[in-house]
Each structure stands twice: as C-alpha cells, then as structure tokens.
Amino acid sequence: MEATLFTWLGLIAFVAVAFVVDFFFFQRDHETPPSLRRAAVWSAIWIGLALAFGALIYVTEGSGPGGEFLTGYLLERSLSLDNVFVFALIFGAMAVPAAHRQDVLEIGIVLALVLRAIFIVIGAQLVEALSFTLYVFGAILLYTGVRMALHRDEGEDIDVDKNIGVRALRKFLPVTEGYREGRYTVKENGKRYATPLLAVVAAVATADVIFAVDSIPAIFGITTDTFIVFAANAFALLGLRALFALLEGAQDRFVYLPLGLASILIFIGIKMLIEDLFHIPVAASLGVIVLALALSIVLSLRKPPPSGPTPPAHVDGTPPVDRDPEPTGAVSRT
C-alpha cells in the first residue's frame, strides 16, 4: 500500500498515545501488580484495536494489504509469547520485585519498538538494494526454527552475569548489592551506582535485540511493505504488559509452544527460500500460523502439569526463598 506522510504520522501518533494510556491506566497503582481479570480485559482491548486497524486497512486498501497486516500481526504476536516467557525468566533470575516488573516491561517494550523500527528501516533498504536479502532472511529463519525445535526440551538458561547488556552496564557503573525501591541509579558515598533494576533493563534490552533479529526477517516473509511491517510490530507490542501479567509463571504449562513457534519460523523460512519457484499465498501463511499456534497451545494444555517445578535460581546459583517486597542480592557489585 502507498502510505502517505499523513498516514505515517497518524499511525505513530496513535501508537504513542496507546503506550501512554497503557502505562498510566493498565497498572494504576504501580506498587501493586495488576490482577488477572484486569490483564485479560486489557489484552482483549489491544487485540480488538489491532483487529479494527486490520479491518480499516482491508476496507480502505483492499484484501491484499489487509490480509498481510493480519498475518503479520498474528506472526509477531505469536513470537511475542516467547518474549514474555524469557522476560519472566530474567525477572526470576534477577529476583525483581513484583511491584516493579510492569514498569521495567514498559521501558523494555518502548526500547523494543525503537529497535524494531531501526531494524525495519535497515531490512527494507537491504531488500530494495540487494535482491538476495530475502534468501538470507529465509536461511536465518530456517536455521533458527530448526535450532529451536531441536533444543526445545533443554529449557532456557538465563545467566545474568554473562548477559552482554549487564556486562556493558557494569563497565560504566558499579551495581549495588540490592534494590533501592523503584530507583534505577543511586548516589552513595559520593559515587553514582546503578541498581539491579537498571541491570534488568539492560538484560531486557539485550533480549529485545535478539528477538528483533528473528521477528523482523520473519515478517518480511509475509510482506515487504514497510508501513504494514511497522504497524504489525507496533500492535503486537501493545498489550505485551497485559500478556505478561496473564502468562507469568505459566511457561512450564506451554511445553509445546517452542515447537509451534519453531514450525512457524521454519515455514516462513522455506516460504522465503522458494518464493521464486512457488508463491505461497498470504491466506495460506495465515492458516499455517493459526494452526501451528493453536495446536501447540491445545496440546500443551492437555498435557498434565509438571509436578513440583524447580523455581529459578538467583544469579549466585542459590535457589530462591520467600522474599520480601524489596529483595537484596539480585546482582553482585563489581
């Protein structure tokens, strides 16, 4: 579709307002985590807005762009499920107080949107300048999907001390031993320190970069329309905090979800690699994504829940204990 400057400005303005509304109204009391009911309602609101936007594109631009947005949105929303579970693992490993998790998520989501916008611009330029770029993207997705499928039973290994973002932060600022309420930096003994909360932001930002490397090439397998690619990513990120509140701690229940996401990445990778030989319609891509996601979720929910899951360890390797609202010892000082 031919997006005008007015169309771009309208989308950016809407997304900016939506993030502000999400930040101030989803969790009114920033000291208390949102309830499951509230998270479900807000998730439904953001999904409804995304579907309404897709319907608007369908009516104004036709079934082609409308189908591309819907497929791209569902693809990015599906991949965001994995993001949510990784964020939960980071929060558990770094013993982030529950009251501060939503604020960190908001910062992480804004960073993710900025990073994805940069990757989208770079990706679009590469696709336009170099005809073989889509083949490279397809190979990346195929490799990522196969690797995810083969290693799905190994679980996530979150080693905070080896996280690139955390290590980079420590080169500039030492990190305090414990959290300082909701502060990201403190000044103690005449010296500026980062708190573990800022280290969490660094870890989440690093995860955002990794996610973008997978998600942006994936949606280019659906469409190369920059406007639709950005819109699908923006709407997929909206409501991610509500999705986190719904699914936090449930990663052990969705045991087949990594396999479903892996199959989606493999399918999109193959689609991109064979595009010149055989074109797979957007409607067929949408069907494959829906089927893979639905099967992985249904099969996961039908499987008996694991007995006695081992809670995540702290960064020093010791198992967590019942913690106060403001735990200490989340990130060691360097």
Give a three-class secondary structure readout of 295-326: HHHHHHHHCCCCCCCCCCCCCCCCCCCCCCCC
- Domain span at residue 56 reads 36-302
CA neighbor of 315 nearest in space, from 223, 228, 196: 196
Identify the pLDDT of residue 324: 42
Predicted local confidence at residue 29, as pLDDT: 64
**Whole-number percent of the chain with pLDDT over 70:** 86
Domain annotation covers residue 290: yes
Give burial (CB, 10 Å; 0-12/13-18/19+) of 262.
buried
| Residue 331 covered by a domain | no
Number of structural domains, the chain? 1
pLDDT of residue 311: 46
In a domain, 28, yes or no: no
Can you give the pLDDT at residue 70? 95
Lowest-confidence segment of 190-194, 266-270, 312-316 by average pLDDT = 312-316
pLDDT score, position 256? 87
Does residue 29 belong to any structural domain of this protein? no
Q: Which helix (H) or strand (E) holds 185?
A: strand 185-188
Q: Which of 62-66, 123-127, 159-163, 310-314 has the lowest mean pLDDT?
A: 310-314
Please return the burial class of 134, using the count of CB atoms within 10 Å of its CB with bins 0-12, 13-18 and 19+: buried
Q: What is the pTM of this model?
A: 0.82
Tell whether 23 is covered by a domain. Answer: no
- Tell whether 322 is covered by a domain: no
Q: In the chain, how many H helices and how many E strands?
A: 11, 2
- Tell me what the pLDDT averaged over the chain comes to: 82
Instruction: Examine residue 72 and state whether it is found in any structural domain, yes or no.
Output: yes
What is the tens place of the pLDDT at every residue in 225-262?
999 999 999 999 888 888 888 887 676 778 888 889 99
Report the percentage of the chain scoring pLDDT > 90.
Answer: 30
Q: pLDDT value at position 66?
A: 93
Q: Which two tokens stand for residue 153?
A: 């039973």
* In-domain check, residue 86: yes
- Which of 71-85, 150-164, 277-291, 300-314 is predicted least confidently? 300-314
Rounded to whole angstroms, the Cα distance separating 142 from 268 reads 8
**pLDDT over threshold 60, residue 329:** no
- pLDDT band at residue 334 using 50, 70 and 90 as cut-offs: very low
* pLDDT at residue 291, as a whole number: 94
Residue 249 confidence (pLDDT): 64
Distances 18 to 21, 46, 203 between C-alpha atoms, Å: 5, 9, 25
**At 316, which amino acid appears?**
D
For residue range 151-189, list pLDDT tens digits in order.
765 545 566 677 788 888 888 888 888 888 888 899 888
- Higher-scoring residue by pLDDT: 234, 315: 234
Residue 325 has pLDDT above 80, yes or no: no
